[in-house]
Structures are given as structure tokens and as C-alpha cells.
A and B are shown apart, each in its own frame.
Chain A
Amino acid sequence: MSSVMANAYMKMFPMEGEKKVSAGKRNPVLDVPEFNKAWNLHRDTSVDIMKRFEYMSQCLNFTDKDTAAIGESKEILAANLEAVLDHIYWEKLVNDPWLSKWFRDETGKIAKEYVTIRRARQRRFLLKILECKWDEEFWNFVRWVGAVHVPTFGFEDLYVPVRLNLALWGYIHQYLFNFLAEELKNDPEKLRRITTAWTKLFWLIIDIYHIDYFAPWM
């Protein structure tokens, strides 16, 4: 007996369907202290979101300087947030041949009320980022936003592809950078500081956002 989710899983991870053959010898990985240490780190970062953030931060070298730089960008971005969101939602998303699929009603027309709500939710996401509070509440919020885009709560039909997330976040990323480059064209050092910090933060967010998309070993 199979389910929609089981079939989807097997298509996503075809290695699971392969016949497993024993190597005929024991795997010594956990006898090696360095590997054991890595295992503990892997386990901790899989179950503790703040440890995950701490590890990813040191891995990406996301420091207080980056937080300060994102704070510096607040005065520029907050003042232009509505225009940025209008562009992303009312110019890009509703016109993109693939992304717009998620914003259409059953007749194929753009569902304007729905776009308005999605735009409002993205606005909240960006406002929370601009507060620069990287605490457990913030990272649980990021994780929750990701989790509600997949069948975490039992809605088997609900699956927003990773590709769409990457396309949207990638588009926002480059759009913000071009916007900042224009605003800070007379201050290249500030531009470098801010865009470096935002790049690291985007990758941190992409990791936490997709926790419930993937098994921890992925």
C-alpha cells in the first residue's frame, strides 16, 4: 500500500528504492573522535535551532559587524519597503510565467486579494529581519514560515517547491542589491558592508526556512 506522500518521497529520493548491499565490514566512523565530535554537532544542530544558527553563523562568519551592517541598511530599505514589495509582487511575481502560477485563481486570473495577502506576509518577514533580533523567536518564525509551505500539518496537497523559494529569494536578493547599489553608489565601502551582511543572512534564512523540507542529513 502506498500513499501520495510515499510515492512523492520515492520519486524525490530514488536511492531509497535501491537494493542495499552490506560492505561486509563494520563502519568505524564513530570510533574516530573527530567524526564523533562532528556527529554530536550534527545532532545538536538538527534539534536545537539556536545551535544551528550559532554553527551556521560561525561557518558563514556572520558576526555582530554584519548585524550592524543590516541595521545600517534599515534606513534605506524601510523607507522604500512598500515600493520594493510592490515591484516584487505586482510587477515580477504576477507576470512571471512560472512563479505567477501560485497567484492565480481557478480561472487562471491573478487573484489580487491573495497577492495582497502574500505581499503583506512578505512585508512582515522583511520587517522582522530589519529588527535584527536573531533570537529563538525569530528563527522559529523563519522555520515556521518554511514549514507552512509543505504538508507539515497534514495537508498533502500543499507543497511549494524549493525551486520557487529559491527563485523568489534569489530575485529579492538581486533586486535588493541593485537597489542598494543605486542608493549607495557614492559610498562603496558601505555598500560592500551591507551587501556582504545581507548575503550571509540570506543563506542563513534559506537554511532555517527549509528545515522542514528536508531530512537533516540532506
Chain B
Amino acid sequence: MHIMEGFLPVTHAIGWSIASAPFIALGLRSINKKISEHPEQRMLLGVAAAFTFVLSALKMPSVTGSSSHPTGTGLGAILFGPTALAPIGGVVLLFQALLLAHGGITTLGANIFSMAIVGPFAAVAIFRSATAVRLPFGMSVFLAASLADLMTYLTTAAQLALAFPDATGGFPASFAKFVGIFAITQIPLAICEGFLTLVVMNALVRFNARELQEMQVTPRSGVRA
């Protein structure tokens, strides 16, 4: 869930940018390392960013009737890893601000924190723990994708509540308010995204398991750099 351009107070906008910066730096370092070992990763991650961008423009069939868009957070994190997803997500969020006026430059840091850092890390943590306790693959994927969306939305609500605490109830009251209001759109979205990611992963595993594995792990080593 995006925070609108200019919506956060300056100090908060700067604070969240500073909070996101180390994750972006870490992500870039891990990407650079990957690229130096496998040069084709440069193209892969660039195309992955475009993939995430177009994914977020897809319309999902929604139970409530309102149109909603997948975030691609869960899928991206499972496929490309959470560390790489911080810079990739950052690029996607920047493009959404520049091309669609969705989100913004001043709120880029806050949006990166909730959507490109908390979401992906939550997705992977949930996916790993779910597989560790031997939940079925489908269930793990569904949980990872939908809970990642919920974590993202809770983070956004917290960001807003920190910026705009309730006059009497302070942060908790404000947090409860934002969580309550956004639940109307965010909970159905999380469920839809969970199902969509499940269908996608099933299709990938069923039809292309070998291909995906091969391409992901061992890129065609015959190619000379």
C-alpha cells in the first residue's frame, strides 16, 4: 500500500529514507557479487524489475468486486530472494511514482521500507518456517504471499500512525484506526494475492520445474563472457 507524495512530514520522510538506505546498499552489494560471478544476472534482475512493475498493473479478480492489483512481493521474494528485492522494489516504486504518479519521491523511502523490505523479508521468513514445519508446498506459498501483504499493510499503518498520532489516544489509537480502515481493501487483496501466487507457483512447478531450476541455478555455462 503506497503512501501518497508529500503526505508524510519532512522528518518522517527523511527518517524512513535513512532507514531504507542500508537495505538498498546491502541489496546492491549482494547483486554486485552475483553479477561478478554470473554476469547474466544483471539482465535477469533488470527484467525482474520490469516483471514486478507490470505485475502490479494487472487487475486481479476480487471477491469484493473492487478492482485490486497484486504487489508481486511474495512471488518476487521467493524467486529472487529478499536481499535483491530491496533495490529491485526500489526501482519499481520509483517508476510507479514517475510513470503513474502512484506513491512519490518524498515518500519513496517509507514505501520502500514497507513494500520492498518488510514484505519480502516477511515472505521469505514465513515461507522458510512453513516448509521447515513441513506444511504442504501450496500452503507455504499461500501463507508467505498473503502474510507478506498483511505485514506490508501493517507497516504502512504503523508509519502513518507514527506520523499522525491520535490527539488523545496517541500512537496505539491511531494505529488501530489505520489498521481498521485499510482492512477493508487490504485483507481481500492479501487473500487474492495468496491464491494467485499459489496458482503461479503450482503452474511453475508442474510445467517448468526443470526449466526454472536449470535457468535459476545453472545458467547456460557454455556462453563466453
**Bound pair (A, B):** no
Interface residue ranges, B against A (CB under 8 Å): none
